[in-house]
């Protein structure tokens, strides 16, 4: 054997050893939990044979509690580069088979190195979390590592897309890295995310709760809103990520890649989706399907704050973001959660050059003591801020109700909409006819012999005057009242006209959005 082939043999053996992670027993335990290993996850997610690993031979430098004699292969995290549908990707995956994927300083430095690389190369960063948290034996070194990751998450925000997968435990302060990223993916029975676990909660508060009920996938997809995508299996989760990556740009200086345009494929008549009776609900996603390419819509945070629908689709082959009130849930009102959901999505679209299409049908902000005390004022303000701040092309279609604060908040002309369309079924007013008539005609109603008849008459009067798009159109607040079947072609026209849109804002370090 020549000395070169001996060296190559030596390299292969070293690699094979490290690639075994925490060893056979730990891998078997991982598989028994229904989880792929960290390496399998990366290889399955990325394009075939595209993964190139970095820092394979990095080991920990713990010196206390017996760590000095332990070898932790790769220090419990795999990092590197690859592609998804040809898009460049930087990636890391914590390896639970090595010391529970716990994070020591070297582990963290591997992550921050690949994050720095992503920022320099201007490509998305994907982080797969599967870890027991700060490596207890390393103490402050581990905490320093987390801090350095959070700092980079913040610096990368709005520059490169950041995607987090929770594929195991993600506990304690570790949760704050995913929370700082743009999209969080969870998988049924695998994801567990919490600040303090069931044991601490039992000790401190005396409350009993299982890990699943505290911070399982469903909880974060439905209740907390921490997760953006929910899947039944790791494979489904990887498919969701691939689709997302295909729809967003690599960085904030690019546009998402165009593909061949397609006509909508859904067999629905757009004129019949929205019921004539303004009190009847419908699924606004059917309207979206009627107007987007191939009727293909990638919904985000589908299970949380379902009174607003957000997500990506393509129109004319290019990515657009949709924000649509959902009349099927709480009549599509804006409340604390739906405001947060919409505002963050609008800011993502704006940061990454994705035009925003708003479909409006809502009776305003949700009234009530709970909402007021939960801070609907500051939450609702986020929507106003996000739309006003956004300089990407912004198009609104008012389908039906546009009442009160909702009319203003849902990308009205007054917040800078570039194109304002309304269907003939649009009702644009300060509030719904019943409420309005009861206030402005209270005296007449009270004094009438037949109060109900008088109320009905005044409601009718109000509807005739205001429950239509023509008052707003007469003031130029709406550009065109359009037929539903014209919606796709006019949206395509608006998007085409907006390709070179540029809008200046006064120079500032950054704004201070309501939180
Ligand atoms: C060092 C750890 C570890 C940790 C797990 N391990 N977590 N080692 N530091 N944080 C090791 C275990 O000792 C074990 O090693 C191996 O990983 C597998 O762990 P198991 O407990 O056998 O696995 P499992 O039964 O599946 O339980 C997983 C777990 C549990 C629920 C995550 O390990 C756990 O509760 N770990 C501690 C979680 C925690 O409190 N972390 C600190 C959070 S505070 P061996 O050698 O036996 O295989 C925090 C602060 C960050 O993170 C602040 C940042 C701002």
Is 134 touching ligand 1 by the criterion CB < 6 Å?
yes
The model's confidence at residue 56, banded by pLDDT at 50, 70 and 90, is very high
What pLDDT is attached to residue 471?
93
205, 169 contact by CB (below 8 A): no
* Ligand 1 close to Cβ of residue 514 (< 6 A): no
8 Å CB contact between 508 and 451: no
Contacts of 210 (CB under 8 A, 6+ apart): 198
Identify the residue whose C-alpha is closest to ligand 1 atom 51.
173
| pLDDT of amino acid 67 | 87
Highest mean pLDDT out of 221-230, 360-369, 424-433, 458-467? 221-230
Reduced to 3 DSSP states, what percent helix, strand and coil does the chain have, rounded to the nearest 5? 45, 20, 35
Ligand 1 centroid to Cα of residue 453, in Å, is: 70
Structure tokens at 160: 């490169």
Q: Does the Cβ of 62 fall within 6 Å of ligand 1?
A: no
Instruction: Compute, in angstroms, the gap from residue 132 CA to the centroid of ligand 1.
Output: 4
Give which of 66, 64, 129 is closest to 102, Cα–Cα: 129
Q: Check pLDDT > 80 for residue 350.
A: yes
Say yes or no: CB of residue 392 within 6 Å of ligand 1. Answer: no
* pLDDT at position 487: 98
**What pairing do the DSSP bridges indicate for beta strands 427-429 and 394-403?**
parallel
With a pLDDT cut of 90, the percent of the chain lying above it is: 86
pTM for the model = 0.95
How much is the pLDDT for 57? 94
Provide mean pLDDT across the span 296-319.
Answer: 98
Question: Which atom of ligand 1 is closest in space to residue 33's alpha carbon?
Answer: 26
Nearest CA owner, ligand 1 atom 25 = 100
Burial call 80-118: b when 16+ CB within 10 Å, e when fewer: bbbbbeebbbbbbbbbbbbbbbbbbbbbbbbbbbbbebb
pLDDT bracket for residue 179 (50, 70, 90): very high
The whole-chain average pLDDT of the chain stands at: 95
> What's the pLDDT band for 4 if we cut at 50, 70, 90?
confident
Task: Identify whether the C-beta of residue 230 lies closer than 8 Å to the C-beta of residue 186.
Answer: yes
- pLDDT tens for each residue of 474-515: 999 999 999 999 999 999 999 999 999 999 999 999 999 999
pLDDT band at 141 (very low <50, low <70, confident <90, very high): very high
Kindly state the DSSP code that residue 367 receives in the 8-state scheme.
P
The full set of domain ranges for the chain reads 3-247, 270-431+467-497, 433-466
d(CA 349, CA 20) in angstroms, rounded, equals 41
Q: Do strands 356-362 and 318-325 pair parallel, antiparallel, or not at all (unpaired)?
A: parallel
CATH code of 3-247, in short, is 3.90.226.10
Domains 3-247 and 270-431+467-497 share a fold: yes
Model pLDDT, residue 187:
98
Choice between 278 and 14, residue whose per-residue pLDDT is larger: 14
Ligand 1 atom with the smallest distance to the CA of 146 is 54
Answer whether 100 contacts ligand 1 (Cβ < 6 A): yes
| CA–CA gap between residue 502 and residue 290 (Å, rounded) | 29
The answer, yes or no, to whether any atom of ligand 1 lies below 6 A from the CB of 172, is: yes
CATH architecture, domain defined by 270-431+467-497: Alpha-Beta Complex (3.90)
* Ligand 1 nearest-atom number relative to CA 199: 35
Atom index in ligand 1 nearest the CA of residue 100 equals: 17
Among 65, 71, 133, which residue has the most ligand 1 atoms within 8 Å of its CB, making it the best to mutate? 133
Question: Tokens 């919606």, residue?
Answer: 487
C-alpha dist (Å) from residue 449 to 153, 245, 439, 455, 459: 67, 65, 18, 11, 17
**pLDDT band at residue 124 using 50, 70 and 90 as cut-offs:** very high
Q: How far is the CA of 381 from the centre of ligand 1 (A)?
A: 40
Nearest protein CA to atom 47 of ligand 1, as residue: 99
- In ligand 1, which atom is closest to the CA atom of 134? 52
Atom number, ligand 1, closest to the C-alpha of residue 26: 48
- Give the count of alpha carbons within 13 A of 492, CB side only: 16
pLDDT given for residue 3 in this prediction: 79
Query: Which residue's C-alpha comes closest to atom 26 of ligand 1?
Result: 100
The closest-lying atom of ligand 1 relative to the alpha carbon of residue 150 is: 55
Q: How confident is the model at residue 103 (pLDDT cuts 50, 70, 90)?
A: very high
The pLDDT value given to residue 63: 83
Binned at pLDDT 50, 70 and 90, residue 431 comes out as confident
Distance CA 38, CA 93 (A): 5
Mean pLDDT check: name the lowest of 99-108, 119-128, 453-462: 453-462
**Residue 436, pLDDT score:** 83
Span 355-407, pLDDT tens digits: 999 999 999 898 899 999 999 999 999 999 999 999 999 999 999 999 999 99
List, in sequence order, every residue forming a beta bridge with 81; answer none if it has no partner: 52, 90
Q: For tokens 């220090």, what's the residue?
A: 75
- Say what the ipTM of the complex is: 0.96
459 pLDDT above the threshold of 90 = no
Give me the mean pLDDT over the 242-269 stretch: 97
Average pLDDT over residues 144-154: 97
Residue 34 CA, chain-centre distance (Å), reads 26
Cβ–Cβ < 8 Å for 345, 300: yes
CA 24/CA 397 separation, integer angstroms:
58
Other beta carbons less than 10 A from residue 403's beta carbon: 24
Question: What was the pLDDT predicted at 465?
Answer: 83
CB distance 81 to ligand 1 below 6 Å: no
Give the atom of ligand 1 at the shortest distance from the alpha carbon of 147.
55
Q: Which of 22, 34, 70, 100 to mutate to test the pocket of ligand 1 (most atoms within 8 A of CB)?
A: 100
96 CA to centre of ligand 1 in angstroms: 9
- Position 434 scores a pLDDT of 82
Q: Is the CB of 198 under 6 A from ligand 1?
A: no
């Amino acid at each position: 054997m020549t000395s070169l082939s001996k060296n190559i043999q030596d390299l292969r053996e070293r690699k094979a050893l490290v690639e075994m992670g925490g060893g056979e027993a730990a891998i078997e335990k991982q598989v028994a939990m229904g989880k792929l290993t960290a390496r399998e996850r990366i290889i399955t997610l990325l394009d075939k044979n595209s993964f190139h690993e970095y820092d394979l031979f990095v080991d920990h430098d713990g010196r206390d509690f017996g760590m000095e004699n332990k070898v932790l292969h790769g220090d419990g995290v795999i990092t590197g580069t690859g592609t998804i549908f040809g898009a460049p990707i930087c990636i890391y995956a914590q390896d639970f088979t090595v010391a529970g994927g716990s994070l020591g300083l070297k582990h963290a430095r591997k992550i921050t190195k690949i994050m720095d690389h992503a920022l320099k190369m201007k490509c998305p960063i994907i982080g797969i979390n599967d870890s027991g948290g700060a490596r207890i034996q390393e103490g402050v070194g581990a905490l320093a590592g987390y801090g350095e990751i959070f700092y980079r998450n913040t610096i990368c925000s709005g520059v490169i897309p950041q995607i987090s997968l929770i594929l195991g435990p993600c506990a304690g302060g570790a949760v704050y890295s995913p929370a700082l990223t743009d999209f969080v993916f969870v998988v049924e029975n695998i994801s567990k995310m919490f600040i303090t676990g069931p044991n601490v909660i039992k000790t401190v508060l005396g409350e009993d709760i299982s890990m699943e009920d505290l911070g399982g996938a469903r909880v974060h997809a439905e209740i907390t809103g921490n997760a953006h995508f929910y899947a039944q299996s790791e494979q489904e989760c990887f498919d969701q990520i691939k689709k997302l990556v295909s729809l967003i740009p690599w960085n904030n200086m690019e546009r998402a890649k165009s593909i061949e345009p397609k006509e909508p494929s859904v067999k629905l008549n757009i004129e019949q989706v929205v019921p004539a009776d303004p009190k009847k609900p419908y699924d606004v996603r059917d309207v979206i399907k009627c107007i987007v390419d191939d009727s293909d819509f990638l919904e985000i945070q589908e299970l949380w704050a379902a009174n607003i629908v957000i997500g990506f689709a393509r129109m004319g082959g290019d990515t657009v973001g949709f924000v649509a009130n959902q009349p099927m849930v709480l009549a599509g009102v804006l409340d604390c959660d739906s405001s947060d959901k919409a505002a963050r999505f609008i800011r993502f679209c704006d940061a990454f050059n994705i035009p925003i299409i708003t479909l409006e049908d809502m009776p305003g902000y949700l009234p009530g003591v709970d909402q007021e005390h939960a801070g609907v004022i500051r939450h609702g303000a986020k929507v106003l801020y996000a739309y006003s701040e956004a300089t990407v092309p912004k198009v609104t279609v008012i389908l039906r109700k546009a009442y009160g604060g909702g009319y203003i908040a849902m990308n009205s002309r007054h917040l800078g909409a570039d194109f304002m369309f309304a269907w003939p079924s649009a009702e644009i007013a300060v509030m719904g006819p019943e409420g309005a008539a009861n206030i402005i005609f209270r005296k007449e109603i009270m004094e009438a012999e037949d109060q109900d008849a008088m109320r009905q008459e005044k409601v009718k009067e109000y509807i005739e005057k205001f429950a239509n798009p023509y008052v707003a159109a007469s003031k130029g607040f709406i550009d065109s009242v359009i037929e539903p079947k014209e919606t796709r072609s006019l949206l395509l026209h608006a998007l085409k006209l907006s390709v070179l849109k540029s809008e200046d804002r006064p120079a500032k370090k950054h704004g201070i959005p309501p939180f």
